[in-house]
Amino acid sequence: MLVLFGCLSMVSLCVGLFFWLQGALLVLPFAVLETLVVGVCFLVFAKHVLDQERIVVDGMQVVVEHEQGGVRERAQFRREWVRIEPLGGERSLIAVSGQGQSIQVGRYVRPESREALARALRRAVQLA
């Protein structure tokens, strides 16, 4: 990504510099502004490139980890006390709760597939 941004910036700034040397003085400031905006967009994208949710059903526990923008949230539940249910309708996020704590999952699953995810989670918890 950094190489792509560098190449894109160089082309834009070279074009801006060419036109500035030809007497079109406003092209270079707009090229600089464009480069800054694209750089900010790349930074925002890079911050969220590792966003993920992980659900592990292992033995007597269910561990749910959610990472978004570098902030990690982790909840651990006893398998026999965990509840898995949609928050609102069938297309809403799924709440995994128990023992006084709750965490929402399903952000990275298409809304129409969340009910199937909830069923699969319930089955995995029951079979483990």
* pLDDT one-digit tens code per residue, 40-66: 999 998 888 889 999 999 889 999 999
Q: In whole angstroms, what is the distance from residue 51 CA to residue 22 CA?
A: 46
* pLDDT one-digit tens code per residue, 77-125: 999 999 998 887 767 899 999 989 999 999 999 999 998 999 999 999 9
**Would residue 61 be called left, alpha or beta, if left means φ above 0 and alpha means ψ between -120 and 50 degrees?**
beta
SS3 letters across 37-62: HHHHHHHHHHHHCCCEEEEEEECCEE
Report DSSP state, residue 87.
S
